[in-house]
Chain A
Amino acid sequence: MMLHVDDVRAGYDRLEILQGVSLSVAPGQLVGIVGPNGAGKSTLLKTIFGYIRPFSGRIALRGKILNGCRPDEVMRQRVGFVAQAGGLFAEMTIQENLLLGGYSIGNTSAVRQAMDEVYERFPLFRERRRQLAGSLSGGEQRLLAIARSLIIKPDLLLLDEPSAALAPRFIDEVYATLRNLNAQGIAMLVVEQNTGIILDTADRVFVLEMGTNAFDGTPAELLADDRIRRLYLGSEAA
């Protein structure tokens, strides 16, 4: 198993948001996490990446325990994190953002080579590399955040609502990119409010409710479950 989260409890100060969440991601799998606002979806992602220390439970990556690791230590295990919005250095250029994406690599020539590969995948960013990241459109910023996470050649990407606040055509573009990357073997754990698109994309879906697991299965199984569909996904997915 690529990622295994077992009975994790976590939160802020003494407030427990996650109350015993378990999930797993197999190599190359795209797993979605859906659920109502406040269910703990983003908290779960932040706990896996090390922004938040779990109170208890176990987070393992390829069998190695991540509990207590800082984000920079988790990232060195080839785990990328793409924040919901505002995850870029808006007052830095596109090139500087990508260079910083390779911060943990250290070796300058390796970073340059990885940047060339990213530029080949996203030629727009090569042309506009001296432009400030903050001047890009919302969709382009989301793509740049994804592009930046690729510099370390991740095995696993954690994405927090990649479709949030985007126009439909940008959502399609972002998800086309994610599907393409997933097809090349990068496993993904995606928190998403847009249930339609995640059910179309994911191999497996977890539903969180009040910090606990409410469902675990394939999108088809979820759509077949009337109670879950009605309670947590609303009419959109139905």
Chain B
Amino acid sequence: MLESILEFLILGIVLGGIYAMFSTGLTLIFGVLDVINVAHGEFFAIGGYIVFVAVVLLHLSPVLGILAATSGSFLLGLAIYPLLIKPMKRRLGRRPQGPLFLVLTLGLSTFLQSTLLAVGGGDYLRVPPFVRGMLDLTFTAVSYQRLLILAIAAVSLAALFLFLHFHRQGMAIRAVALNPDAAQAVGINLGMVFTLALALGVGLAGMAGALIAPLFNVYPTVGFAFTIKAFAITILGGLGNLAGALLASFVIAIVETLSVLVIPSQWQNVIAFAIMILVLLIRPQGLLGRADHR
């Protein structure tokens, strides 16, 4: 039994790394722009498609494929604020905007999904593992592909943390998330920060999509399940709270994975939302969120 627990714990930690990359991006965007990006999963899918084209069709190395997926989705992300959100904000003035942005990103999600379907077809595209082989831990074996995912997730999230805390532009992103008026009073250009935060968020989603392409295959709606799960993680961690999203990603992934030891596996997907509802009933602001978040 102990060996099974350790085996599933390792699988849970790897899954937590994927959830974390996806959810921190979503949380970053919400924390800075107050926009729930329903199209986040489509950028995850775009990352998968780019790595498929790079590795399978162009026979480039996986490293180049992952870099292309990350930078490709980052560049697409750079266009979202100036082309979609800024014009809408300008027209809406001071009227409440949240529900309209939800519909806007839902429209973007459908647009991107349909485009992927039209261009790439609806087939499941297979991406070979970036690294082959298994690490033997005596009680279980973990594929190097999963370990690679965990390592890249850890490095990219650490880099994001360092960027947000020690780089001038990263600090500006945190400043805008905390207090947009005060951020303007110190000379921060809100539009620039909104653009950068969106690009970073969807860049992370693209990277996550590329990394797990060998495990899940690539198809237009591959990101949908992750988007729904990420909403639960974002709410559980505390809306807009990056550390909370990170913690909630691992909590949900580990509990989800370990749950198959005690309940039938078809109930696995219920776990995330059961935890979310339970935590919200006890602590509505989420695990690390503050009750007075703007």
A interface residues (Cβ-Cβ under 8 A, vs B)? 12-13, 49-51, 70-72, 75-76, 81-83, 86-92, 96, 99-101, 103-104, 106, 108, 148-149, 152
Q: Taking A100-B171, A103-B172 as contacts, is the C-beta distance between A89 and B187 under 8 angstroms?
A: no
CB contacts (< 8 Å) of A86 on chain B: these are 179, 182
B187 x A72 contact (CB < 8 A):
yes
A51 x B184 contact (CB < 8 A):
yes
The minimal Cβ–Cβ distance linking B190 to chain A, given in whole angstroms, is 8
The minimal Cβ–Cβ distance linking B237 to chain A, given in whole angstroms, is 16
The reply to whether the CB of B188 lies closer than 8 angstroms to some CB of chain A is: yes
Determine the distance from Cα of A71 to Cα of B184 in the docked complex, in whole angstroms.
Answer: 6
A104 x B187 contact (CB < 8 A):
yes
B184 x A103 contact (CB < 8 A):
no
Q: Taking A89-B175, A92-B174, A103-B172 as contacts, is the C-beta distance between A12 and B185 under 8 angstroms?
A: no
Nearest chain A residue, comparing its CB with the CB of B189: A72
B182 x A87 contact (CB < 8 A):
yes
Q: Taking A90-B178, A92-B178 as contacts, is the C-beta distance between A100 and B172 under 8 angstroms?
A: yes
Chain B residues touching A, majority SS = helix
Nearest chain B residue, comparing its CB with the CB of A106: B168
CB contacts (< 8 Å) of B178 on chain A: these are 89-92
The minimal Cβ–Cβ distance linking A102 to chain B, given in whole angstroms, is 8
> Given B93, B168, B179, B181, which contacts A103 in the complex, CB threshold below 8 Å?
B168
The minimal Cβ–Cβ distance linking B42 to chain A, given in whole angstroms, is 32
Determine the distance from Cα of A88 to Cα of B179 in the docked complex, in whole angstroms.
Answer: 8
A92 x B175 contact (CB < 8 A):
yes
> Given A51, A75, A91, which contacts B187 in the complex, CB threshold below 8 Å?
A75
A81 x B179 contact (CB < 8 A):
no
CB contacts (< 8 Å) of A100 on chain B: these are 171-172, 175, 183, 186, 188
A87 x B189 contact (CB < 8 A):
no
A75 x B185 contact (CB < 8 A):
yes
CB contacts (< 8 Å) of A152 on chain B: these are 187
B171 x A104 contact (CB < 8 A):
no
Nearest chain A residue, comparing its CB with the CB of B192: A72
The reply to whether the CB of B94 lies closer than 8 angstroms to some CB of chain A is: yes
B186 x A83 contact (CB < 8 A):
no
Determine the distance from Cα of A100 to Cα of B166 in the docked complex, in whole angstroms.
Answer: 11
> Given A49, A89, A99, A104, which contacts B179 in the complex, CB threshold below 8 Å?
A89
Determine the distance from Cα of A83 to Cα of B184 in the docked complex, in whole angstroms.
Answer: 11
| Contacts A/B (CB < 8 Å), 15 sampled | A49-B185, A71-B185, A72-B184, A72-B187, A75-B186, A75-B187, A83-B182, A87-B179, A87-B185, A100-B171, A100-B175, A103-B168, A103-B172, A103-B188, A108-B168
CB contacts (< 8 Å) of B179 on chain A: these are 86-90
Determine the distance from Cα of A116 to Cα of B184 in the docked complex, in whole angstroms.
Answer: 23
Determine the distance from Cα of A238 to Cα of B175 in the docked complex, in whole angstroms.
Answer: 43
> In the complex, which of the residues B93, B174, B181, B185 has the most CB atoms of chain A within 10 Å of its own CB atom?
B185
Determine the distance from Cα of A23 to Cα of B291 in the docked complex, in whole angstroms.
Answer: 42
CB contacts (< 8 Å) of A89 on chain B: these are 174-175, 178-179, 182-183
A101 x B186 contact (CB < 8 A):
yes
CB contacts (< 8 Å) of B186 on chain A: these are 75, 100-101, 103-104, 148
